[in-house]
Structure 1
Amino acid sequence: MTEQTGQDARRPANDGPRAAVRNRAALVAAAREIFAEHGLEAPLSAIARRAGVGQGVLYRHFPDRAAAVAAVLEENVRQIERAAETGAMAFPDVLGVLTWHLIESSAFIGLLHTDRPAGRSDVRAYAVGLSGRVERALRRRLPGGDRLGAGQDLTLAVAMVSAAVTGPTREEREHRALAAWRLLGVEVGRVAPFEG
């Protein structure tokens, strides 16, 4: 009979694919937070630290900064689309989910409001494409006869609110976003991520 070393006995079980899914979700959440706090030039090592994983795990999921940015943007849009698809949420609540993502991902807003961000034309083009998906999802849920349904009013309203989402703290960004919706005369539900 062979004796196991103490180190082998303490080694955690390998979760395989489940760990990869968990790690990716943690990395996307950490990237959203780090980019919101420090901008898109924040060190990628800060994302790995915030997610509680090594840099090797980070680079396995996101080989470069553009991949991390794209992952956060994609997850934001997926949550907004899922919120819009559920019949259980009223339109103001869907706008609350959209507003949460605008506030939490404020570092990405600049990509949509500058003509040519240096070195980021590929990311900006990707962000613009995702904006189109958000608009289509919102239009599908827009109540008939809603004043935002005329022409490009919905697109313009979202752009105006996203441009207002500025400030050093989350609270200030939320205050400005809600003030912008209020000035536009648009009711917004609870500002929170989609939980569904």
Structure 2
Amino acid sequence: MSQQPLPDERRPTNDGRRVAGRNRAALVTAAREIYAEHGLGAPLSAIARRAGVGQGVLYRHFPDRTAVATAVLDENVREIEQAAAAPDADIAGVLGVLTWHQTESAAFISVLHADGAAAGRSGIPEYAADLSRRVERALRAHLPDGHRLARARDDLMIAVAMVSGAVTGPTREQREHRALAAWRLLGVEVGPVRPFGG
């Protein structure tokens, strides 16, 4: 029995190979939306429906759940790395970009809880641990000596995980408010909460 799409979801269309690039982009966009709403455990069928393609198209571009998640979350991390590489970058500005991603995506928050040292032993996928390490490197590159997040080796990512845990609420504004309150309670200055370049 076929599953009927929800009213706000697009029906699959088959435009063939000539639109492969457009289909991949639509799948990444749909996955970002679905993961932001429901986390990494969301069904792949929901992603395909939201993108307006069949599941076969999804599997042609992404052989499994890990490939979809990696494609989506890699874009989040790349944006944080770009913010860290900007000529005028400082820790407050990079934390602002990180905080924007925290308020936008439940899936991204799960990556920030990945402990690179525990990958493979605790059930944390290796791709998530790698993405978490990349976020840590981007932040650490701008962490001045003596900064409160640099006092102990693990302080930085523990603080990031703590703020991620506070990012709750039905609206982005509420999640942002809670994230900024958590940073404030930790005594950490955060720049404007926005995507890189936004």
Shared fold (TM-score, shorter chain, > 0.5): yes
CA displacement, residues 21-48 of structure 1 (integer Å, 9 cap, x when unaligned): 4543432232122112123332323323
Aligned to 2:62: 62
Compare 174-183 and 36-45 and name the one that shifted more.
36-45
Q: Secondary structure at the match of 2:141?
A: helix
Q: Is the 8 A contact 1:93 1:190 kept in 2?
A: yes
Relative to 1, partners in 2 of residues 1:25 and 1:144: Cα closer, same or farther, differing over 3 Å? farther
Aligned to 2:107: 107
Higher gyration radius (CA): 1
Letter in 2 for 1:151: A
Aligned to 2:94: 94
Aligned to 1:83: 83
Structure 1 residue ranges without an equivalent (≥5): 1-13
Letter in 1 for 2:164: S
Q: Is the 8 A contact 2:31 2:47 kept in 1?
A: yes
Count residues in correspondence.
Answer: 178
Aligned to 1:133: 134
Match of 2:180 among 164, 178, 181: 178
2-structure distance, mates of 1:144, 1:55: 50
Relative to 1, partners in 2 of residues 1:191 and 1:29: Cα closer, same or farther, differing over 3 Å? farther
Relative to 1, partners in 2 of residues 1:111 and 1:74: Cα closer, same or farther, differing over 3 Å? closer
4+ aligned runs moved over 6 Å, structure 1: none
Letter in 2 for 1:143: P
More helix by share: 1
Q: Is the 8 A contact 1:84 1:137 kept in 2?
A: yes
Deviation at 1:142, TM superposition (A): 2.0
2-structure distance, mates of 1:55, 1:131: 29
Aligned to 2:43: 43
CA displacement, residues 97-125 of structure 1 (integer Å, 9 cap, x when unaligned): 11112222213434665999xxx9252x3
2-structure distance, mates of 1:39, 1:159: 16
Percent identity over the alignment is 69
Deviation at 1:134, TM superposition (A): 0.9
1-structure distance, mates of 2:69, 2:108: 8
Relative to 1, partners in 2 of residues 1:127 and 1:114: Cα closer, same or farther, differing over 3 Å? closer
* TM superposition score normalised by structure 1: 0.75
Q: Is the 8 A contact 1:32 1:104 kept in 2?
A: no
2-structure distance, mates of 1:126, 1:164: 24
Match of 1:154 among 145, 153, 156: 156
Q: Is the 8 A contact 1:106 1:166 kept in 2?
A: no
Structure 2 residue ranges without an equivalent (≥5): 1-15
